[in-house]
């Protein structure tokens, strides 16, 4: 519950006396982030559960609809790709007054071991600089780094930068009850 005076209404518009208004997912976007942050933890936990459940339900509906669209249009999209003589990319065709834009993205994967061999050949047999043709990226798994001896860690640490992702928060009732 949030007092109505926190709904960003000028004092002249605030009801007298202030009445408590239940905060729901439906009216959540009418509040400022600061107002939401000031809600009791129980309300935040309840809202988080409701929003997460709604998100999962919406995603399931999107997946269901995407499946239906794929069933309806995949053969025509395949034909359009064949007519355009391309395996991937965007094609367009009509369906009852609508232009269907069908996109089949390209996902390229490279065999890392084979690339390593080819890069070595460019340098050794062609006499060329492999950096003119390929970009090499070194990676160190964090799990491996954590298990290294201290001497090796100290050697690599100047090349290591730790960045953070987006923080997330879950409110779990201490007594085990759902909000």
| pLDDT for residue 171 is more than 80 | no
Domain boundaries, the chain: 1-39, 56-108, 112-159
Please tell me which residue, 127 or 175, carries the higher pLDDT value. Answer: 127
- pLDDT-based confidence at residue 20 (cuts at 50, 70, 90): low
User: Closest Cα to residue 35, out of 15, 11, 8?
Assistant: 8
pLDDT mean across residues, the chain: 85
- Number of DSSP helices (H) and strands (E) in the chain, helices first: 5, 4
How far is it, in rounded angstroms, from Cα 11 to Cα 3? 13
Tens-digit pLDDT profile for residues 78-105: 999 999 999 999 999 999 889 999 999 9
- pLDDT-based confidence at residue 14 (cuts at 50, 70, 90): very low
Helix, strand or coil, per DSSP, at residue 90: strand
- pLDDT-based confidence at residue 21 (cuts at 50, 70, 90): low
What is residue 177's predicted lDDT score, i.e. its pLDDT?
65
Helices within 103-157 (DSSP H only): 112-124, 142-147, 150-156
Tens-digit pLDDT profile for residues 26-82: 988 999 999 999 999 999 999 999 999 999 999 999 999 999 999 999 999 999 999
In order of 76, 98, 101, 106, the CA distances from 80 in angstroms are 6, 16, 11, 16
How far is it, in rounded angstroms, from Cα 84 to Cα 122? 35
| pLDDT for residue 123 is more than 50 | yes
């Amino acid at each position: 519950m949030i007092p109505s005076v926190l709904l960003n209404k000028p004092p002249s518009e605030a009801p007298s006396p202030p009445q408590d208004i239940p905060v729901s997912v439906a009216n959540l976007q009418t509040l400022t982030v600061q107002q939401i942050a000031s809600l009791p933890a129980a309300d935040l936990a309840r809202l988080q559960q409701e929003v997460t459940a709604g998100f999962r339900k919406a995603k399931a509906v999107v997946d269901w609809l995407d499946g239906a669209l794929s069933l309806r249009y995949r053969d025509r999209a395949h034909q359009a790709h064949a007519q355009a003589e391309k395996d991937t990319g965007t094609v367009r065709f009509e369906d009852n007054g609508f232009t269907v834009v069908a996109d089949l993205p390209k996902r390229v994967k490279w065999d890392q071991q084979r690339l390593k061999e080819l890069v070595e050949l460019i340098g050794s047999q062609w006499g060329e600089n492999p950096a003119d043709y390929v970009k090499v990226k070194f990676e160190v798994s964090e799990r491996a780094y954590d298990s290294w001896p201290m001497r090796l860690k100290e050697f690599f640490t100047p090349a290591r930068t730790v960045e953070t992702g987006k923080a997330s928060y879950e409110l779990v009732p201490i007594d085990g009850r759902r909000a």
